[in-house]
Structure 1
């Protein structure tokens, strides 16, 4: 499983030098309060920084670093090799529950290529890029349609009032991860239960830790089985690559973490956004061919994966500001995707918009490997959901929908919905 990079870091010489210059200044922290009246908008303080694409901010451990809110600045930081993805060089952008006692971020666990730089990162990336082939994505697309239909069948039987997260948003990507990794059908229910517990923000830390261990052990058993008897799946393909057992298990955990929680929250929050914008939902219903364009706009508009920290390896000038070696720059994906210099009228949700160039999947060498699969899942799932339940609506007032306000993957904790039975 991958390690969460948003944890407190250590104080470096660069911190001290920076602090000497800025101790008299009242520096802001990363704003996280989304209560602006709209559950889909970033904190008002972020979108107010359109004319300050890169500014100073104070980190959770006292480090004085930077906040990138401009689209161009975000792409620069995410693509410039002078900014490191190594966890141990970074600082916590905001406090994280359960990590208060941590004084430094440990290096990436074996196989977690998200916390590596070139050439180590490149080694893993090249191996994996070749596995996300057009043929495999097409095959998985056919499976998405089946899994989506199966979940909708079960949802219809359970309804007409259900929690969409539990009935639809989580199962669809979970089943696709099982398909991608080649989890045997007999083991999928057990695997999905453990995975759901790991990502359940309402579950206590001890239970989530136990589920984390169970998933890690399960992936280890799966790797051993694939080595002994390969099947037609990504994990089997990787057993023939130059990877150790520990690296294979780590890669499996990264693919699981990266491919499940983000897509599940996009499906849940995306449904909430469409139900809250009936004109846009009607446009999608009238023209299902707009599904892919709708997905891109939802990715831009919601930006569930945020923020992304990077550490400067040397002095770098961005937007007229000098970022010194050792300083952490946090990219706000939410703000970058609402930058009016890139997206006119950015706070308007419009499925007719050409949202090309958003950074919802990151940018540069670490851009999401599974982005095409995530797009396929959403492009199939949203039209199918609203075609099956044309009267789908919230079962509670919008203000009562519980939100994952303090998680680094934003979304809804649950989404009670209902529909008219024929």
Structure 2
């Protein structure tokens, strides 16, 4: 619609403008519109139809048509609307050099026309005014283009941030699934091996192992549903594992695992609670894999500004059912969780067994925590 609107504005506006510029008998009069004048007023807006496909050609064509219109002596007025739109369009599409050259050419034409081709010569005030108008058009075009580029850059940064957050969420989901499946499947594997070993000579103990398998498989299905539920649009965007579920985890891990708490427990940020829970879970998974039957102690030490998570076992009493499967990514994954929160994690042999210790920063307590032990 832009060429049509520009053409209507130029033709009707010029017809109105020439009433004050055409004075028969006056040597300074402008020429009234004739068929050629109407054609020139129409060709400029018509050329705007190609402004996107051929912005530079459109610009110079309109500049030439406008200069010829002025040279013929027709009335001033809305005829300059087309070159203004063409210059603005060229800047917006990145052809700034052509726009500035065209603006300079228009200014030079008016300087030459009003100095040597008119009966009444114009002075430098007129030339400066024409130049100022051209500079205003170019400046407005540059400002609009700069704001558009800034908006596009903000949108690009926002999209990149959204992709980064989505990637981090996928990584978090993969890590959560690794921990859940690794712990539960390892426990099921060990208990199944125990049941197969005891089913002939000690069927009651085998029954206990099978009951443990049943409960572990139920728990892992429940937790997987919870984890996969966050993929729904109306679900929370963060996994829900926290220290309130630690007693259930320890109970599932067997009678040889005990918990010890020092300091005064208090609510912690969800990320810290989730990391602490997963570190304990992965550590107990490693005990199940490599030291089945070994006594293990889980210690949570609440300090003024840190939470220390300590998991120790007393060493293997039998060959691990999954010991031949290699180390996997358990310890690197735990270390990544701790590091992401600004904490540290160390893991290595300790006496006859193995020890994992994580130190996680937490908000300072309101007052000094009294020391107490809870078994």
Q: How does the TM-score come out when normalised to structure 1? A: 0.18
CA radius of gyration, larger in: 2
Higher helix proportion = 2
Q: TM-score, normalised by structure 2?
A: 0.19
